[in-house]
Amino acid sequence: MTDKRGSKPGWLLVVRWVLTVAIIGVLMWSLDLSNLAAELSRFSWLALLAALVVSVFQVVISAWRWRFTAGRLGLHLPFRAAIREYYLAMFLNQCLPGGVVGDVNRAWRHGRGSGVGKKSFHAVMIERLSGQIVMALVAILACIWLVIRFPGISFQVERLLSSATGYGLITIAALLLALYLGGRAWQSMRNYFYELGSDIYQGLIHRSALLVQLFSSLIVMATYLSVFLLLAASAGTGSGVVGAVTLLALCSLLLLAMVIPLTIAGWGVREGAAALLWPLVGLPAEQGVALSVGYGLTILLSSLPGVLFVFSRPGRD
């Protein structure tokens, strides 16, 4: 007899793959493919290699941030193990829907190796939250710059921010409802949130943790944007101070769009956002989509070392 309970995740995976392909298909239909191919051909292999080197630094800083967060919660996490698990998480996030499956896996593997499951999940949640906070702050600054530099796009930027905010609130409400319905009792759920709040305070908000979290997340954010800049520079776009700042602002919004877990690894959503944003500042949509595709391929290539750890056993190094 077939177990129908296991069919839902499979259907979700199929739906997200179909949605990814559908969005990309619509973009290919609406764009000038010859111009898009020309934009893609302008990226140099040297820029790609430099971007891959930056991605190594990105993983090291991200793994250090995770290790720092785990340490704040009283967990042991060797630095070498953190790097290994981060690469594995990156690879899984590139292949599976939602963009968080790899992070759930590294939390589970760390909990299994350390014997403290709940704290391990909290450490990953807080480490991710630290990055999302910085990403949101940078996106807000990006919107301010774009509205000042291009007053005509204020309505579109406000709509983008309101959509992202609304989606975030809906997600939080859904998580709270799921925890409430799945809990044995309201008291146990309240106890859990008290424990989670305590861990968030210790790992993120406490004065000895906040600056470290924000600074490390800012460095990680800078590595994301550096990949865009390297590719754009090799293609001869984003030249000059104003051009570079505008490019960084647009790319910050692309990263924010990737947070929406509708497709595989942000593919389609990121390119769709680029096709909408670039014309708003007088740039061809194909240029933005090409840069988005280049970024996506770079991140995919940078995650491939994670293949080496797919069948590795969790545990302490």
Dist. CA 272–CA 31, nearest whole Å:
11
Residue-wise pLDDT tens digits, 114-150: 556 788 999 999 999 999 999 999 998 998 888 888 8
pLDDT band at 1 (very low <50, low <70, confident <90, very high): very low
pLDDT at 217: 96
Dist. CA 291–CA 3, nearest whole Å:
43
Tokens of 199: 């861990």
Residues 188-214: what's their mean pLDDT? 86
Tokens of 36: 């898009």
Residue-wise pLDDT tens digits, 39-85: 888 999 999 999 999 999 999 999 999 999 999 999 999 999 999 99
More confident residue, 94 or 155: 94
Dist. CA 273–CA 27, nearest whole Å:
11
pLDDT band at 215 (very low <50, low <70, confident <90, very high): very high
Contacts of 249 (CB under 8 A, 6+ apart): 141, 142, 143, 145, 146
Task: Identify the residue whose tokens are 């930027």.
Answer: 157
pLDDT at 257: 82
pLDDT at 155: 52
Dist. CA 251–CA 291, nearest whole Å:
9
Q: Which of 217-221, 252-256, 292-296 has the highest mean pLDDT?
A: 217-221
Q: What is the mean pLDDT of the chain?
A: 82
Task: Choose among 308, 254, 296: nearest CA to 94.
Answer: 296
| β-strand partners of 97 | 264
- Total residue length of the chain: 317
Dist. CA 100–CA 129, nearest whole Å:
12
Residue-wise pLDDT tens digits, 259-315: 776 677 778 888 888 988 898 888 898 999 999 999 999 999 999 999 998 888 775
